[in-house]
Structure 1
Amino acid sequence: MTVECTRLKYGLTVVTETMPHLESVALGVWIKSGSSNETDNEHGIAHLLEH
């Protein structure tokens, strides 16, 4: 298993793993924030991203 981490110039980190024997893609997104970090104007955004 070879995992490669690439940090883009805008700060986004992309982690990839090539599996030549598979013909599918999986995607996960992790955000360092949650509902406790939201302002009143942002109420519910973290929950929306969760889905």
Structure 2
Amino acid sequence: MYHVHLPKLERMGLIEPNGNWYDIRRGPRFDDIEPLLRVIDDHRKKLPGDVL
């Protein structure tokens, strides 16, 4: 399996692989986007289609 988005998120410091790409943890800059993820989660039923 080839991952496209995970390496980008890693370069941004948002995630870190924990030995492999099947076990991922929060990166050092994850806190920067956590408020956005909370807003998305809070409004997931208003999003179009099967986004989440």
TM range, smaller chain: under 0.3
Quick check: which has more Rg, 1 or 2?
A: 1
The normalised TM-score by structure 2 is 0.21
Which protein has the bigger helix share? 2
TM-score (norm 1): 0.21
